[in-house]
């Protein structure tokens, strides 16, 4: 491993000590403001040490005040590390949960903070700002220092219906509903959290159409939320198709097409 070849890099004693402490603590990614506390060690010239290690290609500066080991490339850990109160979400979470085979070249990160989209170490990141009340359903993938937050299956699906432009395509999302193992109480809670009645109606209609067993409590909840306004089933589609009065939805994707999409394998 390149990080182990310290002696040949003509390092100073403090630089060697810093790298050894990173190794001992198995730290791959860190903030300037926190690293001394994590290592339980003070350095007289921490800025200079980090600058020199970056110059010698033993550390990489991700952005101001944030660093990782030169060989570290976990895009999900990096993406959730550089913005507070965040989680891997939307298309990226669908893929990680095995609910789509479509792979995005962009990593989608949901956060309650504003963050400009950017590319880091060759990976493009899309930061989607949400209201704090929409934050729910966070679990963790990975282990130790390399854990990262990700929305769980149910929250991922609700989020994708809430902001379908980040879902990788409506067909993929429809298929995900048919494939996902979901708990009714979680879908209810997350639909309440996002406060989007149209989302609740669309998911409820699909769950009923697909005759998914075990989700009857969610269907009951969803039907109680139905308002008088008709919504297009696909909000980005044409204003056409069957009107379903029970759900106040206009099916601009027909029932037959929806059932076909849900069972089609790619």
Measured CA to CA, the distance from residue 141 to residue 87 in angstroms comes to 10
With 50 as the cut, is the pLDDT of residue 185 above it?
yes
* Digit-coded pLDDT (tens) for 82-97: 999 999 999 999 999 9
Residue 1 pLDDT: 43
Q: What does the block give as tokens for 255?
A: 């029932």
* Digit-coded pLDDT (tens) for 103-132: 889 999 999 999 999 999 999 999 999 999
What percentage of the chain exceeds 90 in pLDDT? 91
Residue 147 pLDDT: 94
Residue 150 pLDDT: 98
Measured CA to CA, the distance from residue 218 to residue 66 in angstroms comes to 43
Mean pLDDT taken over the chain = 94
> Could you tell me the pLDDT band of residue 6, with boundaries at 50, 70 and 90?
low
Measured CA to CA, the distance from residue 78 to residue 106 in angstroms comes to 13
Q: What does the block give as tokens for 231?
A: 């919504």
Residue 3 pLDDT: 47
With respect to CATH, is domain 2-69 assigned 1.10.10.10?
Answer: yes
- The DSSP code for 91 is H
Contact indicator for 188, 221 with CB cutoff of 8 Å: yes
Residue 210: half-sphere exposure toward Cβ, Cα within 13 Å: 25
Residue 35 pLDDT: 97
What percentage of the chain exceeds 70 in pLDDT? 96
Query: What pTM was estimated for this model as a whole?
Result: 0.92
> Could you tell me the pLDDT band of residue 9, with boundaries at 50, 70 and 90?
low
Mean pLDDT across 134-146: 93
Q: What does the block give as tokens for 48?
A: 């200079």
With 60 as the cut, is the pLDDT of residue 211 above it?
yes
Mean pLDDT across 18-47: 95
Q: Where along the chain do its domains lie?
A: 2-69, 76-263
Residue 263 pLDDT: 86
């Amino acid at each position: 491993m390149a990080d182990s070849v310290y002696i040949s890099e003509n390092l100073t004693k403090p630089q060697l000590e810093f790298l050894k402490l990173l190794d001992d603590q198995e730290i791959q990614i860190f903030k300037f403001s926190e690293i001394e506390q994590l290592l339980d060690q003070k350095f007289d010239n921490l800025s200079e040490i980090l600058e020199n290690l970056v110059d010698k290609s033993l550390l990489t500066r991700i952005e101001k005040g944030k660093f990782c080991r030169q060989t570290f490339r976990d895009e999900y850990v990096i993406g959730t590390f550089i913005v507070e109160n965040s989680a891997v979400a939307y298309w990226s979470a669908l893929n990680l949960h095995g609910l789509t085979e479509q792979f995005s070249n962009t990593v989608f990160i949901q956060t309650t903070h504003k963050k400009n989209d950017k590319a880091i170490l060759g990976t493009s990141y899309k930061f989607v700002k949400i209201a704090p009340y929409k934050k729910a359903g966070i679990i963790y993938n990975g282990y130790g220092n390399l854990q990262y937050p990700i929305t769980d299956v149910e929250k991922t699906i609700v989020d994708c219906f809430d902001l379908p432009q980040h879902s990788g395509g409506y067909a993929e999302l429809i298929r995900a509903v048919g494939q996902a193992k979901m708990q009714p109480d979680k879908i209810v809670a997350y639909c309440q959290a996002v406060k989007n009645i149209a989302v609740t109606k669309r998911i409820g209609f699909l769950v009923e159409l697909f005759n998914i067993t075990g989700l009857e409590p969610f269907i009951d909840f969803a039907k109680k939320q139905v308002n008088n306004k008709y919504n297009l089933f696909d909000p980005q589609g044409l204003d056409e198709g069957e009107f379903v009065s029970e759900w106040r939805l206009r099916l601009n994707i027909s029932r037959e097409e929806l059932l076909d999409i849900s069972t089609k394998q790619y």
